[in-house]
């Protein structure tokens, strides 16, 4: 069965420091991978996605993620954290071959930015 594991329910970094949020998945077929962000009292916003092609994908707000098939990982990074990055981040993988558009969701990681 497919699954998504996000390491760390809470990650705390200082403002200006590197942000690294980890996501590992299991999938028997080539996956489509997504990162979403949820700010307080809001819905989820797509940060970036990997479907095919270049394994390093760039998203909004300076975030990027690298698909590493050998490690079954899709970690999210940002070189320099801003206070506005404080939010909940969710990693998701397409179910099956993606034909039904359903997603398998990670448990989420709350990013805390220290001033």
Which is closer to other proteins, CB of 17 or CB of 88? Answer: 88
Which is closer to other proteins, CB of 16 or CB of 30? Answer: 30
Q: Are 109 and 9 in contact (CB under 8 A)?
A: yes
Q: Which one, of 2, 3, 4, lies nearest residue 109 by Cα?
A: 4
**Interface residues with other proteins (CB under 8 A)?**
32, 34, 36, 41-46, 49, 51-52, 90, 94, 97-103, 105-108
Q: Which one, of 79, 77, 82, 95, lies nearest residue 33 by Cα?
A: 95
CB of 111 to other proteins, least distance (A): 14
């Amino acid at each position: 069965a497919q699954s998504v594991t996000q390491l760390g329910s809470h990650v705390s970094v200082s403002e200006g420091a590197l942000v690294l949020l980890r996501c590992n998945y299991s999938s028997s077929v080539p996956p489509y991978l997504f990162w979403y962000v949820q700010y307080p009292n809001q819905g989820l916003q797509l940060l970036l996605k990997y479907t095919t092609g270049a394994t390093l994908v760039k998203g909004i707000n300076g975030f990027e993620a690298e698909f590493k098939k050998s490690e079954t990982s899709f970690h999210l990074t940002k070189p320099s954290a801003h206070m506005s990055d404080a939010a909940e981040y969710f990693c998701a993988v397409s179910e099956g071959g993606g034909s039904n558009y359903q997603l398998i969701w990670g448990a989420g990681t709350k990013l805390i930015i220290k001033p």
